[in-house]
Amino acid sequence: MGVQAIIVAVVLLFMLVALMRECLRPGLILFTAVVMLLVAGIINPEEALKGFSNKGMITVALLYLVSEGVRKSGLLERIVYRVLPTKNVTITRANLRFYPIVSLISAFFNNTPVVVIFAPMIKNWARKMKLPPTKFLIPLSYATVIGGICTLIGTTTNLVLHGMLLQEHKDEVAAFEDSKGAVEGILLRFNIDGMHMFELTKVGIFIALAGLVYLIFFSKYLLPDNRKAEEEAEEQAIIPPGAVRHEVMLGNRFPGLGKTLHQFDFYRRYGGHVRAISRGGEILEGDYMNMRLTHEDTLIVDAPADFKETWKDSRVFWMVNRVGDYEPPMGTKKRWLALALLIIMIIGATVGELPIVTDHFRFIKLDMFFFACVVTIIMAWTRMFSPRKYTKYFSWDVLITIACAFAISTAMTKSGFADFVAGYIIRLTDAVGGTDYGIYVILAALFLITNVFTELITNNAAAALAFPLALSVSEKLGANPMPFVVCICFAASSAFSTPIGYQTNLIVQGIGGYKFTDFVKVGLPMNIIVFLLSVILIPIVYGM
């Protein structure tokens, strides 16, 4: 390993430790790593910034606005009301009706708003049906994840890797043109212009079906009964006359993180009295007013009746109300328009990639980026989301993380670090699997490396670290890189065993009062299911 590769390894180690210790927000940590690589001369300013103009990253940003428009239409709530049973209810029967629908929705919709909308509704419904809400909320998070891995737009991770494929293809085309054919062999090998809408469905559908069987029929035996957190919170204080009790899940943007409630006046800023703090499924005992707030906390708040309406669109915390049903603010025409636009975007992006369409529309690329742009503008002008507040709907930290990931991936490739690790994986394969099982060992190694990263840090950062390894392995084998990238997609999204691996896990932990060990018990079998099916099915589907 050369000097540059060693520098990259040190920067990556620093980045991983900082992410695990949560020294700063993930976006800032990755940007710090980019600056370190820039100062070391491993990447140039153009390479450091190319992720900020990447089509995949901008598509993620546009889909945040599309998701907000569909969320405000109330379509998702109406679906849930019709699906949840109200008579002869059992846990298995409810699971059969609900989780397949959740997975289908999350295949075309951002996972986080799906869980934010559905989790409190499921909790209220379970109470009415005299069933423990804890039997439903972790599976809700997992159902959205396995649905999201089935399509290009199902999760930001898929779009990140799609953007990286596009960038790699663009770079190699440029290299081919500059060298007048000297890299023709590489170009022909890598002639992959990103992923189409249902590229991941070829394998993902089998993973989703197996995961749903597990969640519907078996997860209830590993899930806990009701935790005491909610009852303890209700006993913490009598609700004052005219007030309503809310659960507020803190987000990464919450300005009081790291401060105590004595230092941060929640009532002055938001008009509610904090009665208790729930962390890791347990109500904090003692003087909670002097305990520092973290993004894993859920606040029990007594506030006026208009508190929900005032702060429901906030991005500093999520409203997890336990009272009343949500009334969609849009009229019928707009709701149908929102549904029509979503369908047009999905079908248009799928059909637009067919050869017969690309041959007739050479002057424009009818891909997901094109249709996301069109749908976003229509939603803005029809006021499906507030055009004056549209910037608040972006998750800026996620977008910065994604943009910086491109520069880090470039550094891993340029320095030779990715080739070094890829060579080690292949040598390990020869030692363990030999020629008969070599491809399975390689896929297993890539999956496990990515999955460990995603459980410890973030899914997008894990995908960014694993992508250059996948390209290096495929180049050394002279193979199509797509199967290896697909493997990384599944591994980066399979954050089931810890609450910190995926945003939706943190949300349901706060709402359901789960402990860390609950995710280990229920999530580890899910990790194994996705791992085995990915390693076994990818070589079959792609003829490796």
β-pairing verdict for 317-321 and 243-250: antiparallel
Integer CA distances (angstroms), 402 to 177, 260, 411, 471, 540, in order: 28, 32, 15, 18, 31
Question: What was the pLDDT predicted at 322?
Answer: 45
Does 3.40.50.1100 match the CATH number of domain 229-321?
A: no
User: How is residue 370 written in tokens?
Assistant: 């094109």
Integer CA distances (angstroms), 66 to 302, 366, 415, 460, in order: 32, 17, 38, 20
> Is residue 73 a contact partner of residue 335, using CB atoms and an 8 Å limit?
yes
Measured over the CA atoms of residue 533, residue 456, residue 224 and residue 322, the dihedral's sign is negative
> Is residue 248 a contact partner of residue 317, using CB atoms and an 8 Å limit?
yes
Average pLDDT over residues 406-427: 87
Confidence of residue 529 (pLDDT cuts 50, 70, 90): very high
Average pLDDT over residues 76-101: 85
Integer CA distances (angstroms), 150 to 185, 188, 385, 459, in order: 31, 27, 27, 16
Average pLDDT over residues 211-221: 94
pLDDT in tens, 454-470: 887 778 888 888 999 99
Integer CA distances (angstroms), 313 to 141, 257, 264, 316, 381, in order: 21, 19, 21, 9, 19
CA pair distance 68, 142, nearest whole angstrom: 22
pLDDT in tens, 273-304: 888 888 766 677 777 888 888 877 888 888 88
Average pLDDT over residues 131-144: 92
Confidence of residue 447 (pLDDT cuts 50, 70, 90): very high
* Residue 128 burial (CB count, 10 A): 10
Instruction: Give the lowest-confidence range in 60-69, 351-360, 417-426.
Output: 351-360
- Please name the amino acid found at residue 275: R
pLDDT in tens, 159-200: 889 888 888 767 665 665 665 554 444 444 445 667 888 999
CA 220 to chain centre: 24
Confidence of residue 478 (pLDDT cuts 50, 70, 90): confident
Question: What was the pLDDT predicted at 490?
Answer: 95
Average pLDDT over residues 228-246: 59
CA pair distance 540, 85, nearest whole angstrom: 39
pLDDT in tens, 262-273: 888 888 888 888
User: How is residue 381 written in tokens?
Assistant: 């002008």
User: What residue has token string 């390689």?
Assistant: 442
CA pair distance 196, 368, nearest whole angstrom: 9
Average pLDDT over residues 202-220: 95
Q: Which residues of 66-105 are buried (b: 16+ CB within 10 A; e: fewer)?
A: bbbbbbbbbbbbebbeeebeeeebebeebbeebbbbbbeb
299 three-class SS: strand
Confidence of residue 235 (pLDDT cuts 50, 70, 90): very low
Question: What was the pLDDT predicted at 455?
Answer: 81
Task: Please provide the distance, in angstroms rounded to a whole number, between the alpha carbons at the two ends of the chain.
Answer: 30
> Is residue 514 a contact partner of residue 508, using CB atoms and an 8 Å limit?
yes
> Is residue 341 a contact partner of residue 379, using CB atoms and an 8 Å limit?
yes
Confidence of residue 360 (pLDDT cuts 50, 70, 90): confident
Average pLDDT over residues 121-134: 86
> Is residue 509 a contact partner of residue 281, using CB atoms and an 8 Å limit?
yes
> Is residue 231 a contact partner of residue 140, using CB atoms and an 8 Å limit?
no
